[in-house]
Structure 1
């Protein structure tokens, strides 16, 4: 600007416009020189879309991000906020990855199923995929490998109690008395309990070692001696606070059942939504990725943007206007998105450095979230190779004391229909976790060997053939661990960040729960929060414009003195 003024004598009123015009022409020249030789159209596309304006930018297209984008845009037509959903990977879904091949196998590389909830059913209905839902038989039990045998967990209490031999009778009595509050020491004062401490206090050591420990390892890939009960298993922990007798779980569950009945009465599910039975597990005919794929399709159909291979580079808060600046590295170069609100649902380990320039405390909190390595390995064996060819159950869990390296095995072909050819059984194995981080150092061949060894020890006949490998995915950072002090050291710091930076929200499974249903519920709840923020922002802008207009009119009217 100073050069234009001195050399060409351009007045100050014209400097900004002239400068921007020259900058525009220079940028065109630079874009033209550096653009790959792919023709005029690709060069123009790379430049013309260098800046994008939307109402909401959703970073991450996993279940949390996809459901948030869905609930922001569904059923509002032209009144819906303009949304852009960006995903770093080449396809939407985040860690939800469903695969299939031409031999008739369908498998998952991440999460494998969900527990149905009204919100999950609502989302499937609104996304247009209700007819794709499939449910597992609710009577199928999970099994636990103990002392060389598979033992089913009871599905009907107290009826199955007498035939349930995973626990000894002293162990059953201790667990029953503790659950009812007849033998349950009070919780320690001023101390946050781990899952191991909480369960042992309520149900006894035997119940913990033989049931809860393998459950936590298989579902969360975690160490129950480190995980916070309050943060990791919030619904069960709350039963203690609801209980009317000695903080026991059974009295608390009775109160919770009353709450659920009242919630259904006050807010009944829409009759149009799919229904489900208690205890069922759900998925879709071609896997869980059906949901984010359907949402992405609907977003595009309704004029919103879904971008893949867009990697978050930086965030900049509003300065003289209300819009955040979000910069992405994309296949077409660096692109800036201006948005009134942004929601980052990417993993904690992926965004700590991004927000560090804004808030070092929040960045430090995100860096504290621990993600252990886990490998998901899908194999198939002929049915004739199994000790139980029909695999009557959900899957098997392996306590750490039983020297089986695999955390757990999902019997995929028993859960959902048409997951493999009829002559096979399909098994999804999870191996690794916070107590076996060395899994990340193994080669794929070594990981497969460990999985095959576990399957032979628990499920297969001695003469079973080698496994048919369908998928092997090592997640170096798999499931966020809600360890002790998760609330004060992490969640409270993120709440403070959002208070300091209105319009910027951090969310996902490291904050609101790792279950599929938790992520869907986050999408609904966060969409309501974003809508309220945008409404307040619009109202504030309207009031400000009105005030400015009034001031201008008053300045133009002479006043008497």
Structure 2
């Protein structure tokens, strides 16, 4: 591990202590910089939050890391969490659709099947026949970008989108498949669609490449104690190596000076040789408006989805759940919750911590549905219990509940998002000593945020190769692996 930076080294201010900002600070210390992290909230971690329910440690934000990418699990190992990384105890999941829980099909790429047979049991007979027509259709051009739902529906029918693609994308982006960019949200599918006439053929080609790569190991990883402990461990490592992290300090101004940057934050106005802005789009836009007005305008245009997590704890003796890690819910079925995780079945460390308690999570809120977050906690708990009873037969009363709201928690990637990101980065690159990173640019998962942070640090060092790679090919987020 690197030692603390020398007193005379360059000073870099990182604005924002979510996982992207913390990863940037960690990497900057590796490069010998003197680092100050400024965070408006009273804690670090952003959308990663560890908590407790009924005395059991749980995640109240994101709960898993895509392990087929190296960035997040690599960072966890670097900050001392290697022995706490754990794969899910079960990887089987279900869809609550057409009145019952149905096994999640195998052999798809973000819900798009390679064959009609792969989704038999989920789709109607008419839907299965529509998939088979894909091989007979003329080529559908994708151009520079296309909406996932629009393209998939044109090739294999709306039922695939409504019952498979929508719930899977909703679990990642809380978005609308008919608005989301295929190039940014499902880049491997976009690439394959450019070179294949048939969409099902393209999916099979992706699956064949994945099989040929002989990738081993789990697709996802969790962390004992919760993924929310990752930013805490990164922050501890940053501080141990001489980095300064100041919470409860909102940055209100950022201006360029002849010898660097001036960062205004309350009664602090530190000078910096370089600045990394690791903030959600609206806050980043506010800070960049004076120095990078065009980039700020593009950031202002980014839309967000809000969501809430309802966490429920039960006495094990009162609960009989279906097997598996939980289920996703297609919006077309008209239910309120969009997913439920059987946390005690998915993560062995939760079950081991209190064998007499069962923990479940349910999520509500999609793009355009922010009003549901205004309802009282008791109402959201009641909604979750109602849908869980309908899906699983669970009638017991919980012994503890928690509601966590993530207002404007997930940036949306509409058609043309890649071009917007390229414009933002072009404007930022024109200002020496300035870089941006976070979920708004290259993917909403933890590995994507960490990759974005590392690319930002490289850019400060004059190496823009990682930035260009990410802008062209964002990090695939959850549920997108071939055959999963």
Match of 1:419 among 321, 340, 350: 350
Q: Give a deviation string over 1:343-377, Cα, whole Å, max 9, x none.
A: 11111112222221223322221111111221111
What residue number does 1:316 align with?
255
Matched, 1:67 2:27: no
**Shift in Å, 1:533:** 6.4
Distance 1:526 1:289, change over 3 A: same
Tell me, what secondary structure is at the counterpart of 1:373? strand
Aligned-partner Cα distance in 2 for 1:475–1:121? 24
Q: Give a deviation string over 1:64-102, Cα, whole Å, max 9, x none.
A: 11222222223x6xxx1111122222221111111125x
Aligned-partner Cα distance in 1 for 2:10–2:144? 46
Aligned-partner Cα distance in 1 for 2:94–2:123? 13
Is the Cα–Cα contact under 8 Å of residues 107 and 207 in structure 2 kept in the other structure?
A: no
What residue number does 2:84 align with?
132
Distance 1:493 1:243, change over 3 A: same
Is the Cα–Cα contact under 8 Å of residues 12 and 36 in structure 2 kept in the other structure?
A: yes
Aligned-partner Cα distance in 2 for 1:160–1:195? 19
Distance 1:312 1:237, change over 3 A: same
Aligned-partner Cα distance in 2 for 1:443–1:296? 33
**Shift in Å, 1:246:** 7.5
What residue number does 2:166 align with?
213
The structure with the greater share of residues assigned to helix is 1
Q: Give a deviation string over 1:478-514, Cα, whole Å, max 9, x none.
A: 10001123233x3133123213312111221011110
Is the Cα–Cα contact under 8 Å of residues 105 and 419 in structure 1 kept in the other structure?
A: yes
Matched, 1:287 2:226: yes
Aligned-partner Cα distance in 2 for 1:106–1:516? 20
Aligned-partner Cα distance in 1 for 2:423–2:449? 21
Aligned-partner Cα distance in 2 for 1:162–1:318? 60
1:437-448 aligned within 5 A:
437-448=370-381
Distance 1:391 1:133, change over 3 A: farther
Is the Cα–Cα contact under 8 Å of residues 87 and 94 in structure 1 kept in the other structure?
A: no
Match of 1:327 among 245, 261, 264: 264
Distance 1:252 1:475, change over 3 A: same
* Structure 1, 191-200 or 155-164: larger mean CA deviation: 155-164
What residue number does 2:423 align with?
493
Aligned-partner Cα distance in 2 for 1:455–1:258? 36
Aligned-partner Cα distance in 2 for 1:492–1:111? 27
What residue number does 1:480 align with?
411
Tell me, what secondary structure is at the counterpart of 1:311? coil
Matched, 1:526 2:456: yes
What residue number does 2:385 align with?
452
Is the Cα–Cα contact under 8 Å of residues 51 and 60 in structure 2 kept in the other structure?
A: yes
What residue number does 2:189 align with?
236
Distance 1:190 1:125, change over 3 A: closer
Q: Give a deviation string over 1:393-433, Cα, whole Å, max 9, x none.
A: 22211111222101111121111123253233211111012
Is the Cα–Cα contact under 8 Å of residues 141 and 154 in structure 1 kept in the other structure?
A: no
What residue number does 2:176 align with?
223
Distance 1:260 1:242, change over 3 A: farther
Distance 1:150 1:294, change over 3 A: same
Is the Cα–Cα contact under 8 Å of residues 244 and 252 in structure 1 kept in the other structure?
A: no
1:497-516 aligned within 5 A:
497-516=427-446
Aligned-partner Cα distance in 1 for 2:280–2:451? 17
**Shift in Å, 1:224:** 1.2
Matched, 1:119 2:71: yes
**Shift in Å, 1:255:** 7.4
Q: Give a deviation string over 1:22-79, Cα, whole Å, max 9, x none.
A: xxxxxxxxxxxxxxxxxxxxxxxxxxxxxx99521111121211222222223x6xxx
Size of the alignment, in residue pairs? 449
Is the Cα–Cα contact under 8 Å of residues 436 and 456 in structure 2 kept in the other structure?
A: no
Is the Cα–Cα contact under 8 Å of residues 381 and 425 in structure 1 kept in the other structure?
A: yes
Aligned-partner Cα distance in 1 for 2:119–2:13? 55
CA RMSD of aligned residues (A): 2.9
Is the Cα–Cα contact under 8 Å of residues 147 and 182 in structure 2 kept in the other structure?
A: yes
What residue number does 1:549 align with?
none
Tell me, what secondary structure is at the counterpart of 1:136? coil
Is the Cα–Cα contact under 8 Å of residues 58 and 344 in structure 1 kept in the other structure?
A: yes
1:75-474 aligned within 5 A:
80-100=32-52, 103-116=54-67, 117-137=69-89, 140-155=91-106, 161=117, 164-172=120-128, 174-175=130-131, 178=134, 182-188=135-141, 192-241=145-194, 243=196, 248-250=201-203, 252-253=205-206, 256-257=209-210, 277-279=217-219, 281-319=220-258, 321=259, 323-329=260-266, 334-386=267-319, 389-419=320-350, 421-461=354-394, 464-474=395-405
Is the Cα–Cα contact under 8 Å of residues 383 and 390 in structure 1 kept in the other structure?
A: no
Is the Cα–Cα contact under 8 Å of residues 397 and 409 in structure 1 kept in the other structure?
A: yes
Aligned-partner Cα distance in 2 for 1:360–1:324? 17
For structure 1, which runs of at least 5 residues remain unmatched after alignment? 1-51, 265-275, 535-561
Is the Cα–Cα contact under 8 Å of residues 54 and 84 in structure 1 kept in the other structure?
A: no
For structure 2, which runs of at least 5 residues remain unmatched after alignment? 1-7, 109-113, 465-484
Which structure carries more relative contact order (alpha carbon 8 Å, separation 6+)? Answer: 2
* Structure 1, 158-167 or 414-423: larger mean CA deviation: 158-167
